[in-house]
Each structure stands twice: as structure tokens, then as C-alpha cells.
Amino acid sequence: MQRIRSKLFDLLLAVWTVLFTPALAILWLCGSPERGVRLASRLWARGVLIGLKWLVGLTYAERGLHNIPDEPCLIIANHQSTWETLAFLILFPDVAIVAKQELLTIPVFSWFLRRSPMILIDRESGPKAVRKMIDESRAALAEGRSVLIFPEGTRKLVSEPVAFKRGVELLYTKLDRVVLPVALNSGHFWGPGRSYKRAGTISVSYLSPIQPGLSGNEFTRRAEELLEAERKQSWPQAA
């Protein structure tokens, strides 16, 4: 039965995405205003999360809300599932997500990525990609938008320890902003290697902020330790 519910959700996701095609045309005719594009993307993401709740039985619970800084910050999160790329549009409505350029191959979704706008980088371009990431992150923060990055670079199995790719330490040192670590256990329900989505409650834990001023190496060590400790003790609440 759970497999059937998961397949029904996949169908709903496809239909829900196609239904947004007219919205693209309207926004394009209006000059693709950033605020309107972000509002539409949040509406789309909220519909996806509602579909997950009612068809799959998958929801989420937030912990540590008091740790969220009052000012725009750098958000780092472990990456186990497609779920968090959708949910963060709701959790942080005006967030600028650092995303890989390969996502531009996804119809409809790619249009919103370009015009929200998100920070799209070509990981194969090396130093050029890092400079672009830093410059566009600074611009987003100056506009009052927090910046989200998944330092592991790609989705990881729930059994794999947290390990950052190179680059996030430079972002930390150059931006000189408070960092909010966010730990998720979404991979237990919707992750790589799973043939269907499971019912349950995803844990979204906002951990103690990391202040600016550390060396890049010290920041990476502390951030990895915080996320790894939470990963080990964050057992899923399955339905």
C-alpha cells in the first residue's frame, strides 16, 4: 500500500508541476518580477509538501527555532533527500540556495531557479565557480536574503558520516556572517537508494549558530561535528 501511495504522489507531483506552466507565462509577460517568482515557487513547494502529507503520510517537525538568527545568515545543512530542496523554500521563504547548474535541465523548475534567483554554479569550473558563489552570496545577503548551501555537495545515504566538500570554508571566511547549521534525517523516508517514499516525521533541527571569525579549518571541523552528532542521534519517527 505504501508503494502505491508513493507512486500516486509521483503522479501528483508531475501534474502539479505542469499546472504551473500558465503561471510561467503570466510571470514572463509581467517581466519575471523576483518577488512574484519567489511567491509562485513557495506556492508550488507548499503544494508538494501537502501532497506528501496526505498521500504518503510524510510530514516534518522543527526543533531549535530559537537558534535561528534575527538577521540574514549563512545556512548549512546535511543533504539526504530531494525533500529539503523543496522544504527550505517554505522554512526560509526568501532564501537563496546554492545549487548545481545541472538542475537547469529540469523543466519548469529550472525557470524558477533562474528567476528567483538562486545561486547556480558549475562545479567543473573550479575557482571561477567559487568566486561566483561568493559574489552572488554577498549580493543576496545585502538584499536581506539568507544563503543556503549543502556543503556535502550531493545527497548522502543516511549511514554515511557528514563530510564537507571544499569551498564552504571560503564562503564562511569571506561572508563574515553567522552560520546556522541545520540537521535533517529526511533520507530515512525519501532518499537515494529507496524505491519508494515512507510515511513518518522528518526532523528539522536548528543547531547552535557558529559565529564568524574562526579559521576555515576550525569552522569546517566544528560544523561537521555538530551535524554529525545530530545525525547519529536523530532517529526517524516512522508511521
Find the DSSP H helices in 19-151. Answer: 21-29, 34-51, 83-91, 109-115, 127-142
Report the C-alpha dihedral over residues 226, 80, 88, 42, rounded to 10 degrees: 180
Taking residues 109-117, what's their average pLDDT? 72
What number is the average pLDDT over the span 55-83? 95
Report the percent of the chain where pLDDT is more than 70: 92
Check pLDDT > 60 for residue 236.
no
Give the total residue count for the chain: 239
Q: How far apart are CA 168 and CA 27, in angstroms?
A: 33
CA distance 141 to 128: 20
- Looking only at the bridges linking them, the beta strands covering 179-184 and 200-206 are antiparallel
Whether residue 85 has pLDDT greater than 80: yes
- According to the model, what pLDDT value does residue 204 have? 96
- DSSP reduced 3-state for 36: helix
Give yes or no for residue 237 having a pLDDT over 60. Answer: no
Residue 66 has pLDDT above 90, yes or no: yes
Which of the two residues, 30 and 211, has the higher pLDDT score?
A: 211
pTM above 0.85, yes or no: yes
Contact criterion met (CB below 8 Å) for 183 and 151:
no
Q: Look at residue 65 and tell me whether its pLDDT is greater than 60.
A: yes
Boundaries of every domain in the chain: 59-238
Cβ neighbours around 147 below 10 Å, total: 27
CATH number for the region 59-238 comes to 3.40.1130.10
- Whether 206 contacts 148, CB under 8 Å: no
Task: Please determine, for residue 239, whether its predicted confidence score (pLDDT) is greater than 50.
Answer: no
Answer yes or no: are the C-beta atoms of 82 and 189 closer than 8 Å: no
pLDDT tens, position by position, 137-196: 999 999 999 999 999 988 898 889 999 988 899 999 999 999 999 999 999 999 887 788
Residue with cell 555537495: 153
Report phi then psi at 218, rounded to 5: -65, -40
Strand partners, 184: 204
Q: How does residue 88 score in pLDDT terms, banded at 50, 70 and 90?
A: very high
